Amino acid sequence: ATPTAITVGVGQGARGGVLFKNATALEATAGIDTVVFDKTGTLTAGRPAVTDLVAADGASQDRLLGLAARADQPSQHPLAAAIVAAARERGIEVTPPDRFDSIPGHGVSAVVDGRPVLVGNLRLMQREQVAVDGLVDRAAALAADGRTAMYVAEGGTALGVVAVADPVRESAATAIKALHAAGIRTVMLTGDQRGTAEAVARRLGIDTVIAEVLPEDKAGHVAALQRDGARVAMVGDGVNDAPALAGADIGIAIGAGTDVAVETADVVLIRDDPADVGYALSIARAVRRKIK
């Protein structure tokens, strides 16, 4: 029989927007000592907007943004949505590319008006052997400011950098502080570039940053923390996060996350507020004290 304390805890959570899927989820939550956060859409609002256009010599900002937008037009990625929206705001018509390939963890490769166009991170440019020497310093400065810098190349030549900022959620810093007060170690796990991730982590006071992680490697990083003895709760919202949510001791889906994330998770935070991670923990710990 389920002890009354657990039933009460599950009910209390539900009223506060914290859904424990079952008694085991609540019990395991009480034992975690490390919380791993996905960055985009979890610690940040997940509504990125274009902030900077750095055109290489000879390119115009409109041409840079227009090509990036057309290449990224079919993409489902929030970064792509930001680029397309910024182009439309400037009155640029964003018609679909002739061809389109999404390269997870890197960016996109498309054909626009018969010419190959790449939009993505440094790893993508290196992989496709596009020289970006003149742009790397600018990109690093943007990253140091917490922005995501994406290179745009046409026909194998870099045209410039488009930077996007995704504002940090107001409650994220409070959430991290509360977890630290409860003796929890905090980790950020992200596909974004190291400079950007570290800038955001510093702003929030996060203990450890694991950056430039390919989508398929997220679960592996959670497993590595567990091998080191950590009892891990993973908090995420995206399709990419589902395997890591499943592999963690406790998977926590946040808010209006994807269906996959919500289905995979042990705990769902209805209110879309990272501070509710601390709330889930305090409920679970209170129940454990009552049971013992």
Give me the active site residues, please: 38
Mapping DSSP onto H, E and C, the string for 47-106 reads CCEEEEEEECCCCCHHHHHHHHHHHHCCCCCHHHHHHHHHHHHCCCCCCCCCEEEEECCC
> By C-beta, is 29 or 40 nearer to ligand ADP?
40
The rounded distance, in Å, linking the Cα atoms of 244 and 90 is 39
Site residues for ligand ADP per CB under 6 A: 39-40, 72, 75, 77, 79-80, 105-108, 119-121, 148, 150, 190-192, 215, 240
Report the nearest approach of Mg ion to the CB of residue 9 (Å): 29
CB of 259 to ligand ADP, least distance (A): 17
Half-sphere exposure of residue 9: CA atoms within 13 angstroms, side-chain side: 30
Contact assessment for residue 165 and residue 219, using Cβ atoms and an 8 Å cutoff: no
Residue 105: burial class (beta carbons within 10 Å; 0-12, 13-18, 19+): middle
Query: Which among Mg ion, ligand ADP, none contacts residue 108 (Cβ within 5 to 8 A by kind)?
Result: ligand ADP
* Residue whose beta carbon is closest to ligand ADP: 191
By CB under 5 A, name the one of 19, 25, 28, 40 that touches Mg ion.
Answer: 40
Which of 13, 41 has the CB closer to ligand ADP? 41
Enumerate residues 6+ apart whose C-beta is below 8 A from 292: none
**Residue 79: contacted member of ligand ADP, Mg ion, none (CB under 5 to 8 Å, by partner type):** ligand ADP
Residue with the two structure tokens 């992989």: 127
Site for Mg ion contains 238 (CB under 5 A) = yes
- Count residues contacting Mg ion (CB under 5 A)? 4
Closest to ligand ADP by CB, 30 vs 132, is 132
| CB of 26 or CB of 79, closer to ligand ADP | 79
- C-beta of 62 vs 217, nearer to Mg ion: 217
Q: Shortest Cβ distance from residue 12 to ligand ADP (Å)? A: 32
Q: CB under 5 to 8 A by kind: which of Mg ion, ligand ADP, none does 150 bind?
A: ligand ADP
**Which one of ligand ADP, Mg ion, none interacts with residue 13, CB within 5 to 8 A by kind?**
none
Give the rounded distance of the alpha carbon of 256 from its chain centre. Answer: 14
Burial class (CB in 10 A: 0-12, 13-18, 19+), 127: middle
Residues contributing to the site for Mg ion (CB under 5 A): 38, 40-41, 238
